[in-house]
Structure 1
Amino acid sequence: TRGRLRPMPRTLMGVPLDTKALAETGVLSKAGLARVALDTVLPATHLDGQDVSVGWLGEERFGREVVDRLVEPLLGGVYAGHARELSARAAVPQVVALLDRDRSLMRAAAAVSVPASDVPVFAGLAGGLGTLPPAVVAAHDLDVRTDATVRELARSADGGFNLVVGATVDPEVLHADAVVLATPAAPTARLLSEVVPRAALELARIEYASMAIVTLAFRVRDVPATTGSGFLVPPVDGRAVKASTFSFAKWDWVRAAGDGPDPLLVLRCSIGRHREEAALQRPDEELVGIALHDLADAIGLCVRPVDSHVQRWGGGLPQYAVGHLERVAHVRRAVAGVPGLAVCGAAYDGLGIPACIAGAGAAATQVLAALPGRGQ
């Protein structure tokens, strides 16, 4: 940002912790830094139970530059969304909770921040997280069907549910005692349209962002020296790439996979934000070229990759608009009125894997409690 790569200051989801350290990074202008300093003398911000956007809250306390150059890239990396539209209570509840701790949001954030540590902040599985689902299946007696579209869901007259599965020309009706819908909001809404229409209406209003991941492999000798595990790009800078991950630096197994007589390094770039789907309609080779252009400006990488892969995620990231928590509460209350039915997934309580696992556990507990003789 502002013409070159700069170290990311320590923040709590974009909330600065120290004005001196922030100034040393050069991320903000002098005017932007002066506006940040006003946080310590401004009256406290009280939401009185209301929800606001993350961008509104950040700008209220620290000014526009903090939102544009710190908050936006951080949230863009998680939601591929826009800070001035995302719910503060849903996306950054830890920040909202700080409003009651101190008149200054920066002082409150600094008081609860964890000291810098050499312990890695990223964890993963050797071979990638894609190895987890088949490992779970292999470890348990499960009947898992893939590429089997569920087209309809209806309550059965004798209890449980009937699901229409498969191609329209050769459908199959499956009976289930209980159903957990872990699908994105739109298909969940379609499946619930007859069973729980109130929940379906709420779910249909959840918008999604699309994105593409451009993965690139380079010879080690061609990659300039880098620091850290990647970089974020504020949308105000007008770049196509919103983030780049130095996969070789983030996960040891990725670096080890590139070892050999002519060792390789793998990195990836993220392209696409909410309502910017047109940028993803380009052919794969154009997206690779766009990623290479931005990498050249960012780290001086000016060679063609040995190999590349473009993975598109159409409608992959739900957008937690202002009022999201209330919407989710309405959905869950409506679904709870149908014993043996539950919903879970990234559309509700968080996009991260831990949040999705927690939601899945709660959904399983809910439907099991409704089954005869399975009240625990």
Structure 2
Amino acid sequence: MTVSAPRAAVVGGGITGLVAAYRLRRSLGPDAEITVVEASERLGGTLRTARIADGPLDVGAEAFIGRRPEVPALLNELGLSEQLVHPAGRRPLFYAGGAVHPMPPGTLMGIPSDAAALRGMVDDETVQRISAESDSPMTWRVGGDVSVAELVGGRFGEQVLRRSVDPLLGGVYSGLSDSIGVRAALPTLAAALDAGASSLTAAVTRALPPPSSGPVFGALRDGYGVLVDALVSATNARTVLGTQVVSIRGERRGWRVDPIGHVDVVVLAVPAPALARILADTVPDAADAAADIELASSVVVAMSLPPATELPDNSGVLVATDAGLSVKAFTLSSRKWTHLGDRETPLLRASLGRFGDTAALEMTDKELVEVATQDLCTVTGLDVAPVETVVQRWRGGLPQYAPGHVERVSEIEAAVRGVPGLAVAGAWSHGVGVPACVASATRAAAAVSEVAR
């Protein structure tokens, strides 16, 4: 009897889907029929490397957490280890209260462990409030969850949220302290509070990571596009672009994936709203939980500046949400990354857009460049016109880890776990960064590989 080659469909062609397809190829062998279906006209999802000033520059995700092993290990597998680079070691600034400030020490996602950390960045009344915070009893419910704003704002006040916490959450999630839950975004802080920390400052002190001499971040010398291309080549899958999967339904053996047909196994590596639509009839409990995960949009404006422009000697500037500016952060790319600093033309990225605010998406490219250059002048004093620009809009690019997110993810995964030949993965689950997406994809591929063999 002839045994047919296993057939697998990966829905979603972002980094999660591409890694899942690659893992399936490694597991199922060269004869497996693997199809990657992507709703847009390009692969890579929120990873995109553009050319500016005669060289590559990432205009989506640009870095990954250095202490996590997933990306370096994947680069090694693909023969790309020489692409790994680390930052130059410069620190970011915060723009708050009409001035720039050094990044506060002793903070966890901008939440201070003592009042001295934010002195000068917030007013004296707020400093006194932080100092006296330990005198107020904690009202944390063990095992519960609240928004970061509810926890921190109630103890430290609005200025701490808008000037210290929001800028950092905006960089990770394109979100706000109001839209992000403590337990998913700050698990070590939740654990410290569960363990009975007497105050929020005490909990932050306990939750801070131990000092490390290693690099905080890593990146690819020639951009994430190199990784995307290598995964596509190594996977050698059939790719279907510009096609949205409407639904999947189980058959006697395997799955019917509309519109591509029958396969043995399916990995759904799509954003949460798409996951909810696809699973609505097949796994309704998972669909209901996924429908509660909202998305934030953002815009990146990449610029090259005149060669003589002297950028601040910092990695970037994070902007307070009460500063009255449109840009939420500037990445001073030529200062942050040594390999970019070697170019003759200074490079930077302006980031705009937060959860619930779509104004930046509606601006024209010209308007976005004008706003970005105006805000750059306000924040750094640089009154320059860019030589070259690239505008990248990310509609629904990042999931919001709202209060209760951990439970929602558990519900999705529990509902899917009992369905043979189906797995789910993505930035909506256990982290929005590239390492977390690689780990999520690896787990999903492993979960269905046995069924496909």
- TM-score, shorter chain, exceeding 0.5: yes
Cα pair 1:38 1:62 within 8 Å, conserved = no
State the alpha-carbon separation in 2 of the partners of residues 102 and 336 from structure 1: 35
Structure 2 match to 1:12: 108
**Superposed CA RMSD:** 2.0
Structure 2 match to 1:149: 243
1:84 is aligned with what amino acid? D
Structure 1 match to 2:339: 253
1:9 is aligned with what amino acid? P
> 5+ unaligned residues in a row in structure 1: which ranges?
166-172
Aligned residue runs from structure 1 range 1-376, under 5 A: 1-10=96-105, 11-23=107-119, 26-99=120-193, 100=195, 102-111=197-206, 113-114=208-209, 119-138=214-233, 140-165=234-259, 173-224=260-311, 226-256=312-342, 258=343, 263-371=344-452
More moved, 146-155 vs 237-246: 146-155
Q: CA deviation at 1:227?
A: 2.6
Aligned residue pair count: 356
State the alpha-carbon separation in 2 of the partners of residues 119 and 336 from structure 1: 37
2:367 is aligned with what amino acid? E
2:160 is aligned with what amino acid? V
More moved, 11-20 vs 227-236: 11-20
2:271 is aligned with what amino acid? P
Question: What secondary structure does 2:346 align onto?
Answer: strand
CA deviation map 1:159-206 (0-9, x unaligned): 1112234xxxxxxx3322111111111222222122112222222222
Q: CA deviation at 1:337?
A: 2.5
Sequence identity of aligned pairs in percent?
42
- TM-score scaled by length of structure 2: 0.74
State the alpha-carbon separation in 2 of the partners of residues 281 and 50 from structure 1: 37
**Higher RCO (Cα < 8 Å, 6 or more apart):** 2
Q: CA deviation at 1:322?
A: 1.5
State the alpha-carbon separation in 1 of the partners of residues 169 and 301 from structure 2: 19
2:401 is aligned with what amino acid? Y
Q: Classify 1:196/1:217 alpha carbon distance in 2 versus 1 (closer, same or farther; 3 Å).
A: same
More moved, 297-306 vs 284-293: 297-306
State the alpha-carbon separation in 1 of the partners of residues 377 and 332 from structure 2: 14
Question: What secondary structure does 1:124 align onto?
Answer: strand
Q: Classify 1:49/1:302 alpha carbon distance in 2 versus 1 (closer, same or farther; 3 Å).
A: same
Q: CA deviation at 1:314?
A: 0.6
More moved, 333-342 vs 154-163: 154-163
More moved, 247-256 vs 178-187: 247-256
Q: Classify 1:61/1:196 alpha carbon distance in 2 versus 1 (closer, same or farther; 3 Å).
A: same
CA deviation map 1:199-226 (0-9, x unaligned): 22222222111110000101231234x1
Structure 2 match to 1:168: none
Cα pair 2:326 2:371 within 8 Å, conserved = yes
CA deviation map 1:296-348 (0-9, x unaligned): 01111111111001000011111122211111111112212311111110111
Q: Classify 1:85/1:157 alpha carbon distance in 2 versus 1 (closer, same or farther; 3 Å).
A: closer
State the alpha-carbon separation in 1 of the partners of residues 228 and 395 from structure 2: 21
Q: CA deviation at 1:148?
A: 4.6
State the alpha-carbon separation in 2 of the partners of residues 231 and 116 from structure 1: 23
